[in-house]
Chains A and B, each alone.
Chain A
């Protein structure tokens, strides 16, 4: 007695968010049925396995038919094939474009190419995210990347409009696109402790302050490419470490302000020149694409690790960086206040975010 055909179609789309999630996670129909049954679907309702199977099949088919539409979410709103209430449309899209932080952490900064796609099974094995789900997420990144690549205007706004995503998710995608475009190195062992959210926050800072879009908002790729002029200007900051007087003056100003306010004062005083050199060197090298890629690793190696080994607390860090930035304004021979602020503003918030275990 084989069931040859079994369909159930509603005038309004019939879906359960639980099954949708299972589908997104890449479960096969049979595995999904197993999960649902273990999840107690049967307890709350007197249903046999075949009933759950039939229901799961129907929903999987519906999702498969919807998938084509989900690739261009704006179509979902004016297509005629399925009648989907607006809140359901929003759920379908938001969930489809949602991703696993562990997965995205792996591909962050990598080229969204066929080559990377081939490595997905390794990533799947490493992260425990099912390959099918990895593919969906990877394709989503690629799709978003391709669409916004050629668009003018603010990145986050473009993503939100073309993919009807929530603000939070649109920002995350902007970060992913930004990382992929600038190919930031995030995979090194030293960076492993950073979560996607740490890096996404940093990307947001960079997008808002260092890109072309931060000064001009009608250029192509405005939020994806760093502001070249600004990077050139950063070279001027070199005086802070090359000019001996300036360096000493800066140090004494910072030390005066910090004295007595922290337990790590001695270490700060001892390391000041090293740390300052580290930060300014990062700034002056950013004209090199290679050094841009190493931006995060440099931050960690040149600044975060030394501080950590001296057992600075997060509060120490905040205190130090605030005074470090502000004291530069008092230096009378230092003329690059605007560039300094633009640079240090981002560095400060990035380091705050990244300074944890």
Chain B
């Protein structure tokens, strides 16, 4: 009997009138858990009953505690006829099952009825007493924490990232059972809600077991989805990333001493003595194996020293082929031997081994990572498959569904291999179902991870051993290609990294992850969307599936082209947070790709777009083309100004010359030829880029170009992105407004062409954005973050788009203030600020080291160049903001090369500046209201605040139905109140857990079925998020002392506990 659940019903308020005669209600409450039910007394004739019941006690297995929700039903007592139900409250007690989260659930919950919506509120108290159970064969996984957040939760440290966990459970859908014909809609809805609660509880428990098996204690980036397969059943599936999290607390000294990292980490630097100047110690031991990058210059004979040489890469790919079979082989790559150059290969193999030892799929659902975790990014990998649904015969053996996903994951894995990557990050899965056809999709970003995170007990999120084994600066390292440049998986133009000039980078980079916090960018980010609508013949069974399957590659190709063109149009060169959704309907397919465009300064400047006509000589056409070309060029110039894309070192070349003209190329050429002759050849091939030429050969193409230009940029004062943070904006103020918007369009004309359909769909999305801007105009300057669009074709001729996002205000005056504001505004906890900072120190130091050493090796020119380039970047930043003292001191120290001195100056100046900028900002946010509200945001942080505790995961599923649609204001009125009710219920649950905000909130499903003729409508909504307690940053003591970094680190961690 490992658990005792106790519940107490305190009171009700605002109950509905159930007795027309007296205008009052005789309410009582049933409390049910599992098969046990308790009842309160009837509180007669009141709309605000005070039951003040005894404690109802349930003695249950912890397995049940995880699976079952506490079910509270409020009823109206009726002497003569059956008691009428007023409504229900389901309480997920999972948050009470682990020690660090909530200890009691207490508060007012809306009483919810699937037909009438919210009908009054009830005050409930719930507690759990858990007994220790030493049974090793237990089926429960109490204590495993779940987070929706797709990054390491604030206030925690990832000791180990174990990797991918997945599970799915299936059941018959009660809506499709025979009994549904004879029961009321209410009974059917409640059966469904309850079943889904049970299934997601079970799913969570099963995933928890897997995590325990792996030795972890938490799931981060938990993504749970429902597939309503209709007749064939109901599937609940979830994926996540298993981790071992440690709470950052005072005294643990987690970031004080990297000494905790065992010596097994061969690549670790020997200097682990906390704040002691790292470089000072390192200098004399330059030949040691501990700092491979410094050993390089002596051994490398051919530039570029750091890129993997051909044979090594090949070898790695050969070892790649045996996938999961041979976990250990990678390690035995002695053939590389003494060649220190192919460090990357070594890394890859190490990591791979670690990964493969652990599991089949090296996937991570995380989208942002601790600094240093991500070494290189290959690009987006995705896989889709079309399946025909069949009835799930045995719910206990969901093999088919498992096999389907297995297949897709294998494909993703092999795609990643082809990109020379051993892992997939920012991984997600989704489905689209129409009748019996189901499209399964998975996508992620192929990447190479730092192996030290894979090994047990040897890592330290913020350790100062950060610089180890990564020769490339973190601001550009992730852009460097992980694959073999002579054996590229896809055509791409490679150039040398514009930052370090040492390794190759592609011309564009697409990823599904968030922009790494230390990435160097120019200007601001921008929301980019590609939309596509394709007609499809109605069909059945196999033929239909095949038809869809055949269309998919064309759709993906077209979406990709659109994205690419739109990216160029904004003169950006990278996409983050890319998500491509393909939805299937009876007679059409919808494709929607959303991403956030950024200009990465490490990547080459994007060329413009050149229009070419197929029929030269025709004067009209040529004039037309010239016009279009002019408009495109104008748009590019306008966008550049709007997004402030002025890469510091390219300014003069790029402005006003969007087409990849010879001058730009020659400049590239020149800069490379400075370092080596070999490179010039490469650059010549780079010059022959034709990817940017759009050919106007038919009317379709013209329309495509037209539609390219119709995308309006947001009005002044607005920015938008679909990632966690807006690249280029760092100084958020605390105002925020999370919203959900749903729009359904009925296509009145059945015989639309693809083009016309595209236009309709594009307009739908554009208009939605426009109306957001309009509605939120009072928040200017403001950014719409985490814009998540989801499209569906609920019926023939209907297109549904649902959007959830958050509008956040920022301080316009200081938008440029990246260096000073960045650590704080990311919303990190104080501790992390400091951590990040110490990381920066280390990265800087490493680059200094490498420069000084390369000087010795006799390649002075290149190092000189890079120093100058970087210096000019610093200067640029300096000019922009005065209080970049920290950077300034770095710069001077670099010039003087007096390393030891630079360290001390850093340590003393930085906390000061930090403290100052914080107090500046805090005085600003004092004006905020002190309302006890529950904030909601799809992001993992709340600007201007610090999350001090995660009190539990929120995962709720609601059904609402009406048989009086007109009376409720039509579908819009119906859905409006339902969405408001869902928000209300989420807020109430969070408040009852003691939280004051929901982070990483998302609406994963919004399924709307209407039948206006029958005056009926039904809607299902599934939401999730993490309930947290936050405090305003101003509430904590400001550590403005000049004490050394680690000290302030610890003191702020004090506050976290």
B980 contact from A16, A55, A65, Cβ within 8 A: A65
| Chain B residues whose C-beta falls within 8 Å of the C-beta of A47 in the assembled complex | 770, 774
B774 A5 Cβ-Cβ under 8 A: no
A47 CB to nearest B CB, Å? 5
A192 interfacial contact with B, CB 8 Å: no
The segment from A75-83, A195-203, A240-248, A261-269 found at the interface with B is A75-83
Question: Given the interface contacts A47-B770, A75-B14, does A3 sit within 8 Å of B745 by beta carbon?
Answer: yes
Question: Is B424 close to A, CB under 8 A?
Answer: no
Q: Does B239 make an interface contact (CB < 8 A)?
A: no
Task: Encode B969-1001 as 1/0 by CB contact (under 8 A) with A.
Answer: 111110111011101100110000000000000
Residues of A within 8 A of B934 (CB): 83
Structural contact, B774 and A80, CB atoms closer than 8 A = no
A16 to B778, CA, bound (A): 9
Residue of A nearest to B763 (CB): A1
The reply to whether A83 and B979 form a contact with Cβ atoms under 8 Å apart is no
Given known A5-B971, A64-B969, A65-B976, contact A48–B741 (CB-CB < 8 A): no
Q: Specify which chain A residues have a CB less than 8 angstroms from the CB of B981 in the assembled complex.
A: 81
**Closest B-chain residue to A64, C-beta based?**
B969
Which residues of chain B from 734 to 784 have a CB within 8 Å of any chain A CB? 737-749, 760, 767, 770-778
Q: C-beta contact mask, A1-36 vs B, less than 8 Å → 1, else 0?
A: 111111111111010100000000000000000000
Q: Is the CB of B976 within 8 A of A54?
A: no
B987 in contact with A6 (CB, 8 Å): no
B920 proximal to A (CB < 8 A): no
Q: Is the CB of B774 within 8 A of A55?
A: yes
Cα A79 to Cα B931 in complex, Å, equals 15
The one of A1, A8, A12, A52 in contact with B748, judged by C-beta atoms closer than 8 angstroms, is: A1
Q: What count of chain A residues pass the 8 Å CB interface test?
A: 39
Q: Which B residues touch A259, using CB under 8 A?
A: none
Among B746, B774, B979, contact of A4 (Cβ-Cβ < 8 Å): B746
Q: Is B403 an interface residue (CB 8 A)?
A: no
Which residues of B sit under 8 angstroms from A55, Cβ to Cβ?
771, 774-775
Complex Cα distance, B979 from A87, in Å, reads 24
Contact A1 B121 (CB under 8 A): no
Complex Cα distance, B984 from A16, in Å, reads 21
Is B715 part of the binding interface, using a Cβ–Cβ cutoff of 8 Å? yes
Q: For chain A residues 277-302, which have a beta carbon within 8 Å of chain B?
A: none
B108 on the interface (CB 8 Å rule)?
Answer: yes
User: Contact between B987 and A7 (Cβ–Cβ < 8 Å)?
Assistant: no
The contact string, 1 if C-beta is below 8 Å from chain A, for chain B 899-941, is 0000000000000000000000000000001010111100000
Chain A residues with Cβ below 8 Å from B980 are 9, 65, 81-82
Assess whether A81 is in contact with B774, with CB atoms less than 8 Å apart: no
Are B771 and A1 closer than 8 Å at their CB atoms?
no
Q: Say whether B210 faces chain A, with CB atoms less than 8 Å apart.
A: no
Please report the C-alpha to C-alpha distance between residue A1 and residue B108 in the assembled complex, in whole angstroms. Answer: 43
> Is A330 on the interface with B (CB-CB < 8 A)?
no
Q: Is the CB of A9 within 8 A of B108?
A: no
Q: Chain B's nearest CB lies how many Å from the CB of A20?
A: 14
Check A51/B746 contact, CB under 8 A, given A7-B979, A45-B715, A61-B973: no
Q: Does B31 contact A (CB under 8 A)?
A: no
| A46 vs B775: C-alpha distance when bound (angstroms) | 12
Q: Are A10 and B737 in contact (CB under 8 A)?
A: yes
Bound-state CA distance A62–B775 (Å) is: 14
Asked if residues B971 and A4 are in contact (CB atoms below 8 Å), the reply is yes
B771 near A83 with CB under 8 A, answer no
Which residues of A have CB within 8 Å of B975?
5, 7
B743–A80 contact, CB under 8 A? no
B844-863 vs A: 1/0 string, CB under 8 Å? 00000000000000000000
- Interfacial chain A residues near B108, Cβ < 8 Å: 78, 80
Q: How far is the CB of B696 from chain A (nearest CB, A)?
A: 28
**B residues less than 8 Å from A10 (CB atoms):** 737-739
Determine the residue in chain B with the shortest Cβ distance to A86.
B931
Q: Does B13 contact A (CB under 8 A)?
A: yes
The verdict on B199 contacting chain A, using a C-beta distance below 8 Å, is no
* Contact between chains at B745 and A4 (CB < 8 Å): yes
Report whether B977 and A1 are in contact in the complex, using a CB–CB cutoff of 8 Å.
Answer: no
Q: How far is the CA of A9 from the CA of B981 in the complex (A)?
A: 10
For residue A43, CB closer than 8 A to chain B, the reply is no
A332 within 8 A of B: no
CB of A57 within 8 Å of the partner chain:
yes
B976 to A45, Cβ gap below 8 A?
Answer: no
B971 touches A11 (CB 8 A): no
B737 touches A9 (CB 8 A): no
In the complex, chain B residues 1004-1032 whose Cβ is within 8 Å of any chain A Cβ: 1008
B798 at the interface (CB under 8 A from A): yes
B interface residues, how many (CB within 8 angstroms):
55
Q: Mark A66-88, 1 if CB is under 8 A from B, else 0.
A: 00000000010011111101110
Interface: B118 (CB within 8 A): yes
Report how far A87 CA is from B927 CA in the complex, Å.
Answer: 14
A314 to chain B, nearest CB (A): 47
Of all chain A residues, the one with the shortest Cβ separation from B970 is A5
**Nearest-CB distance from A2 to chain B (Å)?**
5
A58 touching B976 by the CB < 8 A rule? yes
A47 to B715, CA, bound (A): 10
Across the interface, which residues of B come within 8 angstroms of A61, CB to CB? 969, 972-973, 976
On whether A12 and B744 interact (CB within 8 A), knowing A51-B771, A80-B121, the answer reads no
Find chain A residues with CB under 8 A from B767 CB.
50-51
Instruction: Encode B957-971 as 1/0 by CB contact (under 8 A) with A.
Output: 000000000000111
Interchain CB contact under 8 A, B775 and A14: yes
Complex interface: chain B residues within 8 A of A81 (CB): 110, 118, 980-981, 984
- Asked whether, in the complex, the Cβ of A1 is within 8 Å of the Cβ of B746, the reply is yes
- Closest-by-CB residue of B relative to A44 is B777
Q: Per-residue CB proximity of B91-130 to A under 8 Å, as 1/0?
A: 0000000000000000010100000001001000000000
Give the interface centre of A45, A48, A55, A81 by most chain B CB atoms within 10 Å: A81
User: Whole-angstrom distance between the alpha carbons of A4 and B931 in the complex?
Assistant: 37
Q: Are A85 and B931 in contact (CB under 8 A)?
A: yes
Q: Taking the nearest CB of chain B, how far is it from the CB of A184, in angstroms?
A: 33
Asked, given contacts A3-B745, A47-B770, A65-B976, whether A9 binds B739 with beta carbons under 8 Å apart, the answer is: yes
Could you tell me if B746 and A45 are in contact, using CB atoms closer than 8 angstroms? no
Task: Tell whether A2 pairs with B739 under 8 Å between CB atoms, given A12-B933, A83-B987.
Answer: no
Q: Are B743 and A11 in contact, with the CB atoms below 8 A?
A: no
Known: A80-B984, A81-B118, A81-B980. A3 touches B743 (CB 8 A): yes
Task: Tell me which of A4, A45, A48, A81 has the highest count of chain B C-beta atoms within 10 A of its own C-beta.
Answer: A4
Q: Closest B-chain residue to A55, C-beta based?
A: B775
> Which of B741, B935, B970 is in CB contact (< 8 Å) with A8?
B741
- Chain B nearest Cβ from A7, distance in angstroms: 4
A9–B745 contact, CB under 8 A? no
Interface residues of B in 1-28 (CB under 8 A from A): 13-14
Q: How far is the CA of A74 from the CA of B742 in the complex (A)?
A: 32
Say yes or no: B979 contacts A11, CB within 8 Å: no
Assuming the contacts A9-B980, A51-B770, asked whether A14 and B737 have C-beta atoms less than 8 A apart, the reply is yes
Docked Cα-Cα span, A345 to B741, in Å, equals 61
Given A3-B743, A10-B737: A85 in contact with B933 (beta carbons within 8 A): yes
Chain A residues proximal to chain B, CB less than 8 Å: 1-12, 14, 16, 45-48, 50-52, 54-55, 57-58, 61-62, 64-65, 75, 78-83, 85-87
B: residues with CB less than 8 A from A are 13-14, 108, 110, 118, 121, 715, 737-749, 760, 767, 770-778, 798, 800, 929, 931, 933-936, 969-973, 975-977, 979-981, 983-984, 987-988, 1008
Selected A-B contacts with CB under 8 Å, 26 pairs: A1-B748, A2-B745, A3-B744, A3-B745, A4-B745, A4-B746, A4-B798, A5-B742, A5-B743, A5-B971, A7-B742, A7-B975, A7-B976, A9-B980, A9-B983, A11-B739, A45-B773, A48-B770, A50-B767, A52-B774, A54-B771, A55-B774, A80-B988, A83-B934, A83-B987, A85-B931
Beyond A2-B746, A5-B972, A11-B739, 8 additional contacts (C-beta under 8 Å) are A1-B747, A1-B760, A4-B746, A4-B798, A8-B775, A55-B775, A81-B981, A85-B931
- In the A-B complex, the 6 residue pairs with the smallest Cβ-Cβ separation, listed nearest first, are A5-B744, A4-B744, A8-B741, A9-B979, A11-B738, A10-B739
